Homo-oligomer: A and B are copies of this chain.
Amino acid sequence: MSISMYQASIPVFARALANLSGILKKAADHAEQHKIDPSVLLAMRLYPNMFALTRQVQIATDLANGGGARLAGLERPVHEDTETSFEQLQARIEKTLAFLKSIKPEQIDGSEEKAITLTIGGNEMHFTGLPYLLHFVLPNLFFHTATAYDILRHGGVALGKQDFIGGV
Measured between alpha carbons, how far is A95 from B89 in the docked complex, in Å? 42
* A83 touches B (CB below 8 Å): no
Residues of B within 8 A of A136 (CB): 165, 168
Show 9 residue pairs from A and B whose CB-CB distance is below 8 angstroms, ordered by the A residue.
Answer: A2-B5, A3-B8, A8-B8, A12-B135, A12-B138, A15-B135, A46-B154, A135-B167, A135-B168
Residue of A11, A15, A113, A153 with highest tally of chain B CB at under 10 A: A153
* A1 touches B (CB below 8 Å): yes
User: Which secondary structure dominates where chain A touches chain B?
Assistant: helix
Show the binding face of A for B, using Cβ within 8 Å: 1-5, 7-8, 11-12, 15-16, 46-47, 50, 109-110, 112-113, 125, 130, 134-136, 138-140, 142-143, 146-147, 149-150, 153-154, 156, 161, 164-165, 167-168
Number of identical protomers: 2
Minimum CB distance partner of A15 in chain B: B135
Measured between alpha carbons, how far is A168 from B121 in the docked complex, in Å? 14
The 8 tightest CB contacts between A and B, nearest first, are A142-B142, A146-B146, A2-B2, A3-B3, A46-B154, A150-B150, A143-B146, A1-B112
Residue of A5, A7, A142, A149 with highest tally of chain B CB at under 10 A: A142
